[in-house]
Amino acid sequence: MVVRECLECDEKIVGRSDKKFCSDYCRNSYNNKIDKDSKNLIRNINNRLKKNYKVLTELNTTGKTKIIRRKLIEKGFDFQLFTSIYTTKTENTYFYVYDQGYLVLDNDMLLLIKRD
């Protein structure tokens, strides 16, 4: 008879031959440790996307607003994070954070828009 040990706590396992953990607690603890780094990365990116979305929503109250780039920077907007890009037939490129977007204009101006 082969004695198996829990992958998390090294306690003896009783039960099915393919069982890897002595309890649900150990199974959850083990899996949480494995996924910890990727979950933190995803959580941090999602939090930054939410902040970008909040900034765009606060500044674009009418659905279409011209604003100077500095205003977004002052509120902590991260121009490297967005959820999609849309390029029009006239080669204008809109950057979106969910349904809130912006178009870079001349003279450090941006056009904030909300997609329907």
- Indicate the number of domains in the chain: 1
Q: Evaluate if pTM is beyond 0.85.
A: no
Are 13 and 19 in contact by the 8 Å Cβ rule? The answer is: yes
Residue 1 has pLDDT above 70, yes or no: no
Residue 29 lies in a domain: no
Residue 23 lies in a domain: no
The whole-number average pLDDT for the span 64-76 is 97
Residue 94 lies in a domain: yes
Residue 5 lies in a domain: no
Mean of the per-residue pLDDT values of the chain: 93
How far, in Å, are 1, 54, 97 from residue 47 at the CA level? 51, 10, 12
Residue 106 lies in a domain: yes
Window from 31-35, 53-57, 69-73 with minimum mean pLDDT: 31-35
Nearest-angstrom CA–CA distance, 56 and 41: 23
Q: The domain containing residue 59 runs over which residues? A: 37-114
Instruction: Identify the pLDDT of residue 88.
Output: 95
Residue 101 lies in a domain: yes
Residue 108 lies in a domain: yes
Residue 15 lies in a domain: no
Please say whether the dihedral angle defined by the alpha carbons of residues 14, 20, 25 and 30, taken in this order, is positive or negative: positive
Residue 102 has pLDDT above 80, yes or no: yes
Beta bridge partner(s), residue 87: 93
Smallest CA-to-CA distance from 20 within 40, 4, 2, 44 is with: 4
